[in-house]
Amino acid sequence: MIRRTHKTLATTVAFFLILSAVFVAPTPVAAASDDALMQCMVDCIMTEGEAEKATCKTRCANIPVNTQPEGLDCMATYKQCKKTCESDKDCKKVCKTALLNCV
């Protein structure tokens, strides 16, 4: 009974560790971003002219290149998760699945 409880607890801890690492990401401040975008558009339209709005939209667009939150290391999270499992196979499967789904 104690062994089963320990395994269940380890699996639960591993699951929440993975979830917290995957879903916690810094969020940008929208107002500052909107002001910078508007200023870029105004400057571009003044330089390029009214007819080149499409060019300005492309130039000023905020397109994220890296979708992975800074500091997220999938393998480090997996290793930390696996440490909590000890010899519990179900817990290790949860960690492995989270590693394979890590973005």
Supply angle C-alpha 21, 25, 31, rounded to 5.
Answer: 170
Residues 22 and 32 in one domain: no
pLDDT at 22: 52
pLDDT at 51: 87
pLDDT tens for the chain, residues 1 to 103:
555 655 666 667 666 556 565 555 444 444 556 788 888 889 988 988 888 888 888 888 766 555 555 557 889 889 999 998 888 899 999 999 988 888 7
Structure tokens given for 41: 């558009």
C-alpha of 89 from chain center: 27
Residues 21 and 42 in one domain: no
pLDDT at 26: 46
Which domain does 5 fall in, by range? 1-26+72-103
Q: How many domains does the chain have?
A: 2
Closest CA to 92 of 81, 103, 76, 80: 81
**pTM for the full model?**
0.35
Residues 64 and 97 in one domain: no
Torsions phi, psi for 4 (to 5 deg): -65, -40
Given a contact cutoff of 8 angstroms between Cβ atoms, the answer to whether 63 and 33 are in contact is no
Structure tokens given for 43: 């400057």
C-alpha span between 52 and 80 (Å, rounded): 52
Q: What is the DSSP letter of 50?
A: G
Residues 93 and 78 in one domain: yes
Residues 21 and 35 in one domain: no
